[in-house]
Structure 1
């Protein structure tokens, strides 16, 4: 027989309150029927339901505040959608190139968009040259890179998360551009050479997938199935032979062979680095689906915004 901690009544079958742990009779067993300390903690004495949500939206003495990339944040849409942000930036830059050439002049165009052996310390061109391509009406250059980024970028972004994908894309783009003009200066000293385009970043994406899913089938012209490792080897051989075998040098055929090779090597190295930390894609998602505002950075990613 136990004693009710509220009224002192002796009970043969006492009740134990799950909130405060005390013993009560049938009349006082509910927390609102006795002086239960759990009621002062939102009926959650152990803090099980304290998610910290109120701390994230309420700053001390200053009203509401929101996470920049979290739900409701100003940049929340970009989380999980950086592939499409980069594609949009490429086409906006492409049209801007036309406007500058048409209304400003070639000198400004070169200084703003082209990373060259003549201006390697124009640090803004390290980034602008990634998004710039052969200007309108030429469509083949930007279309080729956009196809690779659209179909494969979404997969890599899902695997590694939007933050790491952004760093991979921009970092590889910069390294590929600098690698291209560095090789040009070393192999062809005194010769003016420039580079623009997202080829280095695009081939880094292929490199990552070659490590993580080497047998992933790519349908050339949507007809011929080819494993992604074969495409990567093809690009690597073409670029290497052009640079080392006298096939026109680092810019053979008007193509940034050095940038291609640097992009592939960085992508392969990064893929090897994360190989044990991410799931392996089993199929090719054609462009993926993107995320809405505040969407996740991608399932299975290592790190995210």
Structure 2
């Protein structure tokens, strides 16, 4: 039975009925995306709000395996995938807790003297020292800065570029500190920890 398209008025011999809004459309406008279907928008919002799938007025609960705690961990990990700032913050907090392990703090700190004595370890510690902090307040202020400033930069340039800016800034700051300690103040054993150098780079990139 011929019927006019509810969007363009074209008479369609075999009209298509949208399962989301119930209106009739021609071949060109049969897909929900082609006629800006309000029913599809409501359908997606309903799934988002309730966590259930709906089909022909029959709701089907989305299968979620595992315990509530396991699901919470999965949800948190999914959140980290799209938020580099939060991922870095999480690693820093975990690393701060690991500092309770004897030897952890000193092993992953950046020592300028290692530039010559242990070059391989020095290269590794150029990264690891960014995730160590000398105390709770040191961690708190750095992570607050990362959360408020870092997330804004990440929003502007994307997660991948943000990670590059953060790591490169921290590495350059670590090398600069080591050269300064070795050749300017003559204290090769003064260790460096913290994300301050990386965060200065983040701030500079945002400015």
Q: TM class by shorter-chain length? A: 0.5 to 0.7
Query: How many aligned positions are there?
Result: 144
**2: CA distance between counterparts of 1:98 and 1:90?**
14
Describe how 1:47-62 pairs up with structure 2 within 5 A.
none
Q: Distance in 2 between matches of 1:190 and 1:92?
A: 30
Q: 1:190 to 1:77 in 2, by over 3 A?
A: closer
Closer, same or farther: CA 158–133 of 1 in aligned 2, 3 Å: same
User: 1:286 — aligned with what?
Assistant: none
Partner of 2:144: 147
* SS of corresponding position for 2:99: helix
The corresponding residue for 1:36 is none
Q: TM-score, normalised by structure 2?
A: 0.58
CA deviation after TM superposition for structure 1 residue 86, in Å = 0.7
Corresponding residue SS for 1:195: coil
Residue 129 of structure 1 corresponds to 129
Q: Which residue in the other structure is 1:179 paired with?
A: 176
- In structure 2, what is the Cα distance between the partners aligned to 1:30 and 1:179? 75
SS at match of 2:182: helix
Q: How does 1:264-275 map to 2 (within 5 A)?
A: none
SS of the residue corresponding to residue 114 of structure 2 reads: coil
Q: 1:110 aligns with which of 89, 100, 106?
A: 106
Please list, as runs of the form range in 1=range in 2, the aligned pairs for 1:1-305 lying within 5 A after superposition. 77-99=79-101, 101=102, 105=103, 109-111=105-107, 113-120=108-115, 121=119, 122=121, 123-134=123-134, 138-189=135-186, 191-209=188-206, 211=207
Quote the RMSD (CA, aligned, Å).
3.5
Q: CA deviation at 1:169?
A: 0.9
**Runs of 5+ unmatched residues, structure 2:** 1-10, 16-26, 34-76
Q: After superposition, give the CA deviation of every residue in 1:23-54 in whole Å (9 maximum; x if it has no partner).
A: xxx9xx8589xxxxxxxxxx78xxxx9xxxxx
Structure 1 gap ranges (5+): 1-25, 33-42, 50-74, 212-305
**Structure 1: distance between partners of 2:191 and 2:174:** 9
| TM-score (ref. length: structure 1) | 0.40
Superposition deviation, residue 150 in structure 1: 1.1
**Contact kept? 1:87, 1:146, Cα under 8 Å:** yes
The match for 2:72 is none
Q: Conserved in 2, the CA contact under 8 Å of 1:79 and 1:162?
A: no
Rg (Cα) greater in structure: 1
Three-state SS of the structure 2 residue aligned to 1:124 is helix
For CA contacts below 8 A with separation 6 or more, give which structure has more relative contact order: 1
Structure with the larger helix share: 2
- Structure 1 stretches of 4+ moved >6 Å: none
Q: Is the 8 A contact 1:130 1:173 kept in 2?
A: yes
Summarize deviations over 1:147-203 as a string: whole Å, max 9, x none: 111111111110001110111111111111111111111203364221110001112
Asked if 1 retains the 8 angstrom alpha-carbon contact of 2:169 and 2:200, the reply is no
